[in-house]
Structure 1
Amino acid sequence: MGTLCFTRFGNWIQLEPAIVPSDPSDINSCWSGSATILPDGKPVMLYTGSDTNKHQVTDLAKPKDASDPLLREWVKAKGNPVMVPPSNVPRVLVGAKEKDSKKGMALLYHSDDFVQWTKSHVPLLESQVTGMWECVDFFPVSVTGREGLDTSVNNSSVRHVLKASYGGNDCYVIGSYSSETEIFSADSEFTNTADDLRYDYGNLFASKAFFDSATNRRISWGWIMERDSKEDDIVKGWAGIMGLPREIWLDRSGKKLMQWPVEEINNLRAKRVSLYNKQLGSGSVFEISGITASQADIEVAFDLRDLANDPEILDSEEVDQATLIASYSASVRGVYGPFGLLALASNDLAEHTAIFFRVIRRGDGHSVVMCSDETKSSLRDNIEKAAVGTVLDIDPRHEKISLRCLIDHSVIESYGGEGRSVITSRVYPKIAIGEESRLYVFNHGIKGVTMSSLEAWSMRKAQINSNAT
């Protein structure tokens, strides 16, 4: 388990690995876990170990020197493992899967001393259709504001979020939790379909959230998986990268989570360009110059000023699921949309990733589909390229359509509707790299739209120190 320390200026200090395989309870691997502060003020860590039989167990470790502000060295408990799988569950940390079935679940353990653990009689939540739950997360969120909460907080102004990673997605439900009965009542179920609420509708998995008590934020961090081949991973010598940390909170409706990049990332902003009230007619494509397009932060907003009075806006029929999924492609032309950004683009647009919106009819109103189309992201072969999307919970007749994109050479994290939905793209440009990368704004819809504002910054490279002081 490697360790990086994040500073308030968006930079990093690389430390030695915190935990490495060495004991019978983790000799075959040390995997993800969680850390907390005990009532006596001392830190402690629980992590997944793969033992001599390659069974997944839960191990405990404590810092060798709790006064070290970076907690460089950790000591494993002599009594490891502190939790072992029940006989009918082959994999357990908190997330689990019933043997020979698709039943996934979150198992709740409790302890008085953090060493001896007892499993509750019933799962915190389970689903018959998801399969294994990984990297389960459970935390409170405030219904009255954006501030994060310590995990122990539970009152009438609090709801709880249960997140489970399965099927390549990080899905969540919101509900109420009783600390006395240990019963969690979720507002919805995990269905393993497109109806599940997701942290990210692109390529992000196995996220974990923590409470930052210094700033009262709940911060989530996820893993971006590779989309090239295993052979490419072997050549690189590594596979998978971490996304940017996100602040996370409950939206005003109480039905979904909001996410936004942590404010420390803004410290890496450098050269800035801006544009306002630019009309985008049908077929418009123009370059945003003056910044480093391969490493940039862009905030843009679109205004559909004629939408409310436009009788030709859309078909009268509601868009079905098949039509909705087909519209994730930037090549599908509509009345309003696709319009948005072409990121990590080559000069001739042979390579580009399109992050865009389109307006669709949904029942008696209108909805905005947010999409990321990677199908032209690279001229390289043997790369998985997807076109993905989701429906933003906004009414474009009364609200501007906003997008923030953070671009870092081969990753694009796109936040729509001020953080209502996020799509992460992992792409592999062959031409549009470094100084050859371009950024464009486009509108391929039949109707024109107004780009009410655009601000874009070149981003400095984060400093990574090889030695901590």
Structure 2
Amino acid sequence: MYYKGVYHLFYQYNPKGAVWGNIVWGHSVSKDLINWKELQPALYPSKPFDKYGCWSGSATIVPGQGPVILYTGVVDKRSNEVQCIAIPANTSDPFLTKWVKPNRLNPIVTADHNMNGSVFRDPTTAWLGKDRLWRILVGSKHDDTGLAYLYRSKDFVKWTRAKHPIHSAKTTGMWECPDFYPVPLQGKNGLDASMIGDSVKHVLKNSLDMTRYEYYTVGTYIQNKDKYIPDNTSEDGWGGLRYDYGNFYASKSFFDPSKNRRIIWGWANESDTKEDDVKKGWAGIQADVEVTFSFSSLDKAEAFDPNWVNAEDLCAQKGSKVQGGLGPFGLLTLASKKLEEYTPVFFRVFKASNKHVILMCSDAKRLLSNN
């Protein structure tokens, strides 16, 4: 979140080692998203409602109150999950170093008797409707159907579940880390989560536990029915659009009001063994690369076939060694000194009917030797 000139990054973190376990909410702050200062953990298991874990959630800036964290607490060894609230101990502290979990409020949401409490987690950033009710989503599943429950509140304390999920999709399994936010029909600015109207569409993103990828659709949010209907521009499931076709999971976006943009953070977990992670002392990475490629002309771009709908399949078909009209070009990452091994990140340019289409690919299996 961005609050009073400071970016706050919260993340799942094991302070006792480079493997999963002992999860707390790590907390780092920055004024430019580049230089970061690590603070003490914001949340760690300390109450009966989160005795066995403080899992993922979101932050919301509540007008007149300030930042509020909603997170999933694990109450027992059977992994029954509840939704909890935390607030800053001192809102005048510019870094919001300490957070408290009011006993009188927690947990704010529990699973109903007909719901599976072990698949009930990751509350979203809240948004405020025209009816002055706050709303959040919580990820879950029923049998093999993934779904996002919707809850409403007048005061950000007492929450009531809507009769129906905001959306669901069969055969997708557990929806982890759901994200729901508006995007403008015109322009490239990000929007506050509470923005609604005819000038926006909405994005619903889910992290599918069965595939460990991030899937999203763009569609219409009908607020008076609290229903989300995806457009027919992509599949609503495993074959649909993904934020990233590499190793990218459990992402969360936030609106940055200082620059009117929406920023997405995601988790990139390497393929190292547990033993290697312990040896090097860290696991999981963040990367930000900016590169510019220039061309004197785009005339040689190949024609784009509108039947191409799956970018991953097209990347496999074209490959990094198949010469095209304009591409492949790009970067060699994770390269050994003599290029015995490397991972190419490469691009191709195609010409559609009224625009150019860019295909971005990576190939983690590419070896230069013997090819």
- Range class of TM-score, shorter chain: 0.7 to 0.9
The one-letter code matched in structure 1 to 2:93 is D
Deviation string 1:184-212 (CA, Å, 9 cap, x unpaired) is 22214654334x11111111111111111
Aligned with residue 373 of structure 1, among 363, 367, 371: 363
Q: SS at the partner of 1:300?
A: coil
**Structure 1 counterpart of 2:220, which letter?**
S
SS in 1 for 2:48: coil
* Cα displacement (A) at 1:370: 2.4
Question: What is aligned with 1:82?
Answer: 108
Structure 1 residues 47, 173: CA separation in 2 closer, same or farther (over 3 Å shift)? same
Contact 1:328 1:373 in 2 (8 A): no
| Deviation string, structure 1 residues 407-456 (Cα, Å, up to 9, x no partner) | xxxxxxxxxxxxxxxxxxxxxxxxxxxxxxxxxxxxx9xxxxxxxxxxxx
- Which of 344, 347, 360 is the matching residue for 1:354? 344
Q: 2-side partners of 1:142 and 1:319: how far apart? A: 26
Q: Does 1:299 align with 2:342?
A: no
CA distance in structure 2 between the partners assigned to 1:368 and 1:301 by the alignment: 14
Cross-structure match for 1:73: 98
How far has the Cα of 1:361 moved from its partner? 9.6
In the alignment, which residue of structure 2 is the partner of 1:448? Answer: none
- Structure 2: which amino acid aligns with 1:207? S
Shift of 1:375: 1.7
CA gap 1:378/1:231 in 2 versus in 1, 3 angstroms: farther
Q: Which amino acid aligns with 1:56?
A: E
**Counterparts of residues 156-171 of structure 1 (less than 5 Å):** 156-166=198-208, 167-171=211-215
Aligned residue in 2 for 1:225: 269
Name the SS for the 2:291 alignment partner: strand
The answer as to whether partners of 2:140 and 2:176 remain within 8 angstroms in 1 is no
Distance 1:91 1:377, change over 3 A: farther
Q: CA deviation at 1:336?
A: 5.4
Task: Report the alpha carbon displacement of residue 27 of structure 1 after superposing the two structures with TM.
Answer: 1.1
| Distance apart, 1:306 and its partner CA | 5.0
Residue identity opposite 1:119 in structure 2: R
**Where does residue 98 of structure 1 map in the other structure?**
141
CA shift, 1:139, in A, is 0.9
Listed one character per residue, the Cα deviations across residues 263-308 of structure 1 (whole Å, up to 9, x for unaligned) are xxxxxxxxxxxxxxxxxxxxxxxxxxxxxxxxx7432134565527
Partner of 2:17: none
- Alignment coverage as a number of residue pairs: 323
CA pair 109-339 structure 1, distance change in 2 beyond 3 A: same
Unaligned runs of 5+ in 1: 245-295, 380-443, 445-469
| CA RMSD between the two structures | 3.3
Q: Which residue of the other structure, out of 218, 221, 244, is the alignment partner of 1:177?
A: 221
Aligned-partner Cα distance in 1 for 2:164–2:196: 21
- Conserved 8 A contact 2:141-2:175: no
Post-superposition shift, 1:160? Answer: 1.1
Structure number with the higher strand fraction is 1
Aligned with 1:239 (options 270, 273, 283): 283
**C-alpha displacement of 1:356:** 1.8
Q: Structure 1 pair 323/31, CA: closer, same or farther in 2 (3 Å)? A: closer
Is 1:164–1:170's contact at 8 Å kept on the other side of the alignment?
yes
Aligned counterpart, 1:411: none
The alignment partner of 1:238 has SS state of coil
Other-structure match for 2:257? 213
Query: Is the 8 Å Cα contact of residues 172 and 238 (structure 2) preserved in structure 1?
Result: no
Matched, 1:193 2:238: yes
CA contact (8 A) 1:45 1:60 kept: yes
Structure 2 SS opposite 1:235:
helix
Q: Is residue 135 of structure 2 the alignment partner of residue 109 of structure 1?
A: no
Letter in 1 for 2:254: F
8 Å Cα contact 1:353-1:376 kept in structure 2: yes
Q: CA deviation at 1:97?
A: 3.5
Q: Which runs of 5+ in 2 are unaligned?
A: 1-24, 122-136
The residue aligned with 1:28 is 52
TM-score, with length taken from structure 2:
0.76
3-state DSSP class of the match of 1:324? helix
Alpha-carbon distance in structure 2 between the residues aligned to 1:219 and 1:366: 25
Question: How far 1:50 moved relative to its partner?
Answer: 1.1
Give SS of 1:301's match: coil
